[in-house]
Amino acid sequence: MKILAIAYGHFPKVFKLYSRFQPDVGHLKVVLDDVPSDGFDQADFVATYRQLATFFPSITEHSCCEEWESAPLFIREEQGVSIKRVGESADVAHLIEHVIVDMQVNIGGMQRCSGLTCGWRDPENRFDLFVECIDSRIGLFAAQFAVYLVSRMLSKRKLSGRYKFVLQLAKYFTENPEAHTNARALSTELNWSVGNAEMAMSRLHKFGFFHATS
């Protein structure tokens, strides 16, 4: 699975797919390719969801394909799982979209955020994700980090709890734009070990958090 392109701007046509997008808010468009064609079976989907919910607790409160005339007829609902499953590759892309949406609210400070997962007819394993976004820098980071996390889980690797430091640091920098970017100074400021501060900083760099997007 890989990202082919990420763009930020206004995509007027998406309002035809989902009329409840906020009119003045820009969109992040993520083109995702080589999404595994078999998706998840029920047990894997629920396990992946539960693991993601430990990092992104508010995904348990997301609305998913509700009150929506375009919801596929074959959608499946699992007990206690807020994200619905359709039983194909779209589930992987849709899970990534939920994670990106969650980061827009909890790191980007948006009051509300909606997203769409659009599966191509050809090739079938390519998806366009449209997510409302007010800060392209957060969007660039969120898209890359979400794909990284879900890719790791697809390869049956358990996510390290240390990734929570990455999310906390992204939020810290968003709320404190003048903060130190030196790992040692951050470790003192946040009362973290130097190792955790260094790891979180390196991940933020890797996933574009410090990329100037203006």
Partner 1 sequence: MKGCKIVRTLHINESGNRIKNLFVSDEISRKEAAELVNDSEPFSSKYRIVLNCKSERRKAGEHRKLTVGIGSD
Residues of the shown chain interacting with partner 1 in the complex, contacts defined by CB under 8 A:
2-13, 16-18, 20, 29, 31, 58-59, 61-65, 68, 70-72, 83-84, 86, 88, 90, 94, 97-98, 101-102, 104-105, 110-121, 124, 128, 136, 139-140, 143-144, 147-148, 206-208, 211, 213
Token pair of 47 as six digits: 């396990």
Q: Which residues contact 182 (CB under 8 A, 6 or more apart)?
A: none
Distance CA 109, CA 112 (A): 9
- Residue 190: enclosing H or E segment and its boundaries? helix 183-190
Distance CA 116, CA 97 (A): 7
Token pair of 202 as six digits: 């390196």
17/185 with CB nearer partner 1: 17
Shortest distance, CB of residue 187 to partner 1, whole angstroms?
26
Contact 106, 171 (CB under 8 A): yes
Shortest distance, CB of residue 92 to partner 1, whole angstroms?
11
193/210 with CB nearer partner 1: 210
Contact 132, 17 (CB under 8 A): no
Shortest distance, CB of residue 60 to partner 1, whole angstroms?
11
118/190 with CB nearer partner 1: 118
105/190 with CB nearer partner 1: 105
